[in-house]
Amino acid sequence: MGMTMSQKILAAHAGLETVEPGQLIEANLDLVLGNDITSPVAIHEMEKMKSQTVFDKDKIALVPDHFVPNKDIKSAENCACVRNFAMKNEITNYFEVGEMGIEHALLPEKGLTVAGDLIIGADSHTCTYGAEGAFSTGVGSTDMAAGMATGKAWFKVPSAIKVVLKGKLNKWVSGKDVILHLIGEIGVDGALYKSLEFVGEGVKELTMDDRFTICNMAIEAGAKNGIFPVDEKTIAYMEEHSKKAYTVYEADEDAEYDQTIEIDLSTLKATVAFPHLPENTHTVDSIGDVEVNQVVIGSCTNGRYDDIKTAYEILKGRHVKKGMRVIIIPATQDIYLKAVEEGMISAFIKAGAVVSTPTCGPCLGGYMGILAAGERCVSTTNRNFVGRMGHVESEIYLASPAVAAASALTGKISTPDELGL
């Protein structure tokens, strides 16, 4: 029996010729990731171990991003814990305020993730790096501690779902619409502990930022990971950002999949996930008027350059509707700087939006945009559970940057097409 891309990466890192779905393996890690919420727990667990040193100071990334800059004493103490650990262990890839970013946008930008890598992170959206042809997945803080100490982790080899993409996206339709459509089709547990493996001629039509967004939300379908084949766009991105050697793995022709799903990109429309699950999807043209109070454009899902540029193209020279709160958060300092240099930030401010330094902030209901009872937010983030962004009686509507920006202008869920753009 042939192997999928994910299975080949796992086999190689376990030193095995082949692996099968359900098999338990121990594999060597290329990178272990933690943030300011999950790392302190892992650090305290490491303190209980006989070996309290890291396996490789170059293969650990610590990225304070959830409550950074610190919002209160507890978040400051968490960051101090991470900072002290990083200094003590001489962690190469520790990113302080001023050089940090939202972890899943920052690591590829810094060249720390490449094709063929096996990556774990104490954050569920670690599956983002599958866009580069890596096997990456979220783990608990205890597994992070073991990974930092030993450079190894246990895995149950996942079976896979093949997602065949064909056609080309229409204007203002993006990777966010693709993954929301898929989650709407299969549900939040439709790929439970499986690998979502994207293939087909439509792949070449997607930008790298589209692919990062799609893999980022694989976990919202219950998947262990999402992964794309390595093509010319992938190689160009890696060669621009990284000096690491990479390995290209391709699925065998006789690889077995639990299910095959076909998506014609040309038929997709702007899609929104209604409260309170990412699977509760509707196309914008089918929902009528849904008035909103706030818009958030950012996060590890949609705070990349393409996302910020899309918002700029819609908001420049216009003004958000009176009474709307619009928060724009570039995902990294480099993206922020590029937006400054290209005049995007001044356009956002003139449009009546506020712009924040990189932070996860509002996505997890941390700060920088908490909702009151009865308020509605269109957000480019990844989860819309009850109370996710504030009060349990608030509502989150997940959408693309294009829909979010258009909605900021109208005060209701809208598409750029409705504005004649």
Residues 212 and 80 grouped into a single domain: yes
Each residue of 212-262: pLDDT tens digit? Answer: 999 999 999 999 999 999 999 999 999 999 999 999 999 999 999 999 999
Neighbours of 137 (CB within 10 A): 27
Question: Which CATH number is 167's domain given?
Answer: 3.30.499.10
Residues 215 and 286 grouped into a single domain: no
Each residue of 336-362: pLDDT tens digit? Answer: 999 999 999 999 999 999 999 999 999
Residues 64 and 202 grouped into a single domain: yes
Does residue 250 sit in helix, strand or coil? coil
| Count of residues in the chain | 421
Residues 235 and 348 grouped into a single domain: no
Instruction: For the chain, list residues with pLDDT below 50.
Output: none
pLDDT value at position 51?
72
- Closest among 15, 85, 6 to 255, alpha carbons compared: 6
Residues 35 and 166 grouped into a single domain: yes
Residues 40 and 157 grouped into a single domain: yes
Question: Token pair for residue 246?
Answer: 């990479």
With residue 8 as reference, give the H or E element that holds it. helix 5-14
- Cα separation, 116 vs 135, in Å, equals 7
Under DSSP, the state recorded for 355 is E
Residues 29 and 60 grouped into a single domain: yes
Residues 124 and 53 grouped into a single domain: yes
Residues 337 and 230 grouped into a single domain: no
User: Amino acid identity of 2?
Assistant: G
Does residue 324 sit in helix, strand or coil? coil
pLDDT value at position 56?
97
Q: What backbone phi and psi angles, to 5 degrees, belong to 367?
A: -170, -175
Q: For residue 86, give Cα distances in angstroms to 61, 105, 140.
A: 9, 20, 19
Residues 228 and 279 grouped into a single domain: no
Residues 136 and 42 grouped into a single domain: yes
Q: How many domains does the chain fold into?
A: 2
Under DSSP, the state recorded for 419 is G
Which domain range does residue 410 map to?
A: 270-419
Residues 108 and 172 grouped into a single domain: yes
- pTM (2 d.p.): 0.96
- Cα separation, 192 vs 258, in Å, equals 12
